[in-house]
Structure 1
């Protein structure tokens, strides 16, 4: 790999590169144990030998159905080392959903810490076990080799499996870290699931920089955030963390919070970012970043320091972005190798540019996202972009998350309905009439009549998922089952 691509000339696997240069420096921690780069390299080789002993061969596909854990990290690295490919599946998916995903992917092996008979009986289940190889694993470092499959969010239709190589992942890391300050000695919390591109990107930023990765118990996020310098979060998570720090310090001065918090930089996503939150974070010594990205581009495409503007910043290195007839098109070193279908990798597009179906505009040198082309609906002859309504709703002080969907209407064809999450009302109960009336009055002042939601419902808790991206398709199915 040329040094000009990522800034670092990896001539071998990244963990071996760092083991050769900084063998004794801490690389990985699970909150209890720590591993140096030399120990990481040795462990990965042992686990790779264990996979080989179980029959896993180069270019075969290993499905991983598991939440984040130190075992998941070891397995991902070992699968790469042996020249095989991995795909992460959401462990919260139902057994029929998992069976269908595995069938479509034609997986060769399965790894899960909690085997489900309906799923596991259909595929060879492998173990994570280390072995001293009789002969070293000899698969060479090849930056272009397909390594990871990541399912798109599947907001409409079946999710696609996006294939990335080390080159695309490392280029993604290099571009973001040209802006964010993540150095050897810093530690990034693996706070997002590895089956999502945002979680996978954290892993590759660690491998690119040769810094530290922390894998902690997801049940106590705030405690884990006290141990790290970097994290990827949604605004509500940061808000709750800062509130707890302020409470624990018993003093709202910035010096008191800084004495408690190691956290230096946070990459925020998933929702509109309140200016008050970023100001509070800055007082605690935390710089907040926001951006725009997608699975096909190995995560982040544009980024900036979060501010009062609703824009998502400028294009990062190794990426290109243009707007054609209102739609965002992208290309660059981070663009995926293709989609995985029938055991083959098919190109994303017939040309070098990839059509994202996201709508955007440039204003004052900054990209503004206007929504998804396939989310738009027509109400009374008017085009309605639900994301523009959601952005207004998120400015209401009681609203923490909002999704707007169309429902059939005999007069207008379709009308918008808002599903919201709020911290002032319990998620398992209907919204109070007083809050609904307040929202109706608020929206009447903010948007034209055809864009005002005709009803407000609480976001169903079981569909909120991992706080990264909610499936509009699943929400639409749930909404159709409700009697409005």
Structure 2
């Protein structure tokens, strides 16, 4: 019986947690022994079997040590999804170094800031799949290097930095850091989230188990491995269950359509903005559906799922679009919908097995049943802390392990519903306005691809400002959208201004960057 056909129970979850290895690199070993010829990673026309991947991880770990990397050192990988990135991440774990996984599309200032803050002993660049990585490599004086037989045109390494000292090494998987992932830095500087091997292995096992992953699955790996969703849930989640991961460095809707049929993909995960772009591509091409002969599972995460996007995706594929919620600091998944209980709404499902959750009001008081409050969680997936930032860690993580997500949520019959970010809550004339509710209305308009709502401070009050991305070739005015919204929203929720944009600013994962829109909204005041 396939894993996809077996019910996922708390008992199965506990069994999966009992079998977790000590390091993330060890997830390859059982498959390398039992099915060495089974494909593990695919990049274009190249692929590694589990046997090959196991050998490459061991050999690359030894090569890192030859290059002066010690246990406890930070190894920075400026990269996009590729075989080179994958083997470096696992090889760093094999020798107890920390992988500092950084998206090559960050600016020079951001890359240098992370390099200096992390104290990276060595920096690697996946030049073969990323012109941005190649530019950073040239700027840093990196030289070509051949690792895992990939050839010198694929990877470059920067000079050894002798100054940084190694961090202490712990045998305990719950103490040893596997990855240092930097947040986007909306506060002005990025924070390095220390995720232990235990943190991310729990997510890989549980989240992947809830998706019923097994060795017959063929997973599309376009979510950046530099982002915790792509790292823990997609990359490690596929490998720990023996599946095959098709690595793709950039999201292109046409490539997804092609791979669904050609590669017989069974699992497609993405952020809502990716699915919005895919639907937009199909509409422009005049397609109502696409061939997907083996697809069995769709899921969204990384940002709030809009009802219109969910409905459109389900109409195209004839499958439920599952939903989930998490943060980098929680490795990332906190809640996930159940395959056996598909939802028509945009709930993110029940809290994961092994986690505790509670809602706390902005006044610090417990929230009554059915009420909205800040979500606090505790459990084995909560980060070790922010690197070299004890004060910032203490602001969100209590001594007894409770982490404040600073997201507003409510529970209904055991399932979690996300309301919005507490810092994005708009208080207009004394009334609370939650941006996702306004965005859901705007996104329901047939001319709209996606929208983002932010607050704008005015004298003694806040205004609602909406930024809207229109479907290509469609003509609509801001006034028409305002009228559409006015029919569906209370007066205090209606946008004071609607700004039409060709595209909304987005991060490398496709997540809309509301911090930039907030700045733009203030300049237009």
Match of 1:121 among 130, 134, 140: 140
Q: Where does residue 293 of structure 2 map in the other structure?
A: 261
Match of 2:81 among 68, 90, 109: 68
Residues 1:272 and 2:306 aligned together? yes
Question: What stretches of structure 2 of length at least 5 have no aligned partner?
Answer: 1-12, 128-132, 150-168, 362-372
Match of 2:405 among 353, 356, 359: 356
Would the alpha carbon gap of residues 460 and 67 (structure 1) be closer, same or farther in structure 2, given more than 3 Å must change? farther
Residues 1:380 and 2:422 aligned together? no
Alpha carbon RMSD of aligned pairs, Å?
3.3
Most deviating of 139-148 and 91-100: 139-148
Residues 1:288 and 2:301 aligned together? no
Would the alpha carbon gap of residues 159 and 64 (structure 1) be closer, same or farther in structure 2, given more than 3 Å must change? same
Would the alpha carbon gap of residues 406 and 276 (structure 1) be closer, same or farther in structure 2, given more than 3 Å must change? closer
Residues 1:317 and 2:317 aligned together? no
Question: What stretches of structure 1 of length at least 5 have no aligned partner?
Answer: 132-138, 427-431
**1:409 Cα deviation (Å)?**
2.9
Q: Distance in 2 between matches of 1:344 and 1:449?
A: 41
Residues 1:8 and 2:19 aligned together? yes
Q: TM-score, normalised by structure 2?
A: 0.78
Query: Could you tell me whether the CA contact under 8 Å between 1:375 and 1:386 is conserved in 2?
Result: yes
Aligned ranges for residues 420-459 of structure 1 at < 5 Å?
420-424=468-472, 434-459=476-501
Match of 1:308 among 329, 344, 362: 344
Q: Distance in 2 between matches of 1:17 and 1:11?
A: 13
**1:27 Cα deviation (Å)?**
1.5
Residues 1:175 and 2:210 aligned together? no
Match of 1:203 among 235, 259, 269: 235
Query: Could you tell me whether the CA contact under 8 Å between 1:62 and 1:110 is conserved in 2?
Result: yes
Would the alpha carbon gap of residues 251 and 105 (structure 1) be closer, same or farther in structure 2, given more than 3 Å must change? closer
Query: Could you tell me whether the CA contact under 8 Å between 1:110 and 1:126 is conserved in 2?
Result: no
Query: Could you tell me whether the CA contact under 8 Å between 1:50 and 1:130 is conserved in 2?
Result: no
Q: Where does residue 393 of structure 1 map in the other structure?
A: 442
Query: Could you tell me whether the CA contact under 8 Å between 2:224 and 2:249 is conserved in 1?
Result: no
Q: TM-score, normalised by structure 1?
A: 0.84
Match of 1:229 among 263, 266, 274: 266
Q: Distance in 2 between matches of 1:458 and 1:416?
A: 15
Query: Could you tell me whether the CA contact under 8 Å between 2:465 and 2:521 is conserved in 1?
Result: no
Query: Could you tell me whether the CA contact under 8 Å between 1:360 and 1:371 is conserved in 2?
Result: yes
Q: Distance in 1 between matches of 2:417 and 2:186?
A: 21
Would the alpha carbon gap of residues 125 and 237 (structure 1) be closer, same or farther in structure 2, given more than 3 Å must change? same
Aligned residue pair count: 460
Q: Where does residue 215 of structure 1 map in the other structure?
A: 247
**1:232 Cα deviation (Å)?**
1.1
Most deviating of 226-235 and 461-470: 461-470
Would the alpha carbon gap of residues 334 and 119 (structure 1) be closer, same or farther in structure 2, given more than 3 Å must change? farther
**1:184 Cα deviation (Å)?**
0.9
Q: Where does residue 298 of structure 1 map in the other structure?
A: 331
Query: Could you tell me whether the CA contact under 8 Å between 1:109 and 1:126 is conserved in 2?
Result: no
Would the alpha carbon gap of residues 243 and 473 (structure 1) be closer, same or farther in structure 2, given more than 3 Å must change? closer
Would the alpha carbon gap of residues 125 and 375 (structure 1) be closer, same or farther in structure 2, given more than 3 Å must change? farther
Specify the SS of the correspondent of 1:390.
helix
Query: Could you tell me whether the CA contact under 8 Å between 1:232 and 1:267 is conserved in 2?
Result: yes
Match of 2:519 among 474, 477, 483: 477
Query: Could you tell me whether the CA contact under 8 Å between 1:150 and 1:163 is conserved in 2?
Result: yes
Q: Distance in 2 between matches of 1:70 and 1:208?
A: 17
Query: Deviation digits for residues 243-288 of structure 1, max 9, x if unmatched?
Result: 888999x997x9xx66x532221211333143532532553xx442
Query: Could you tell me whether the CA contact under 8 Å between 1:98 and 1:119 is conserved in 2?
Result: no
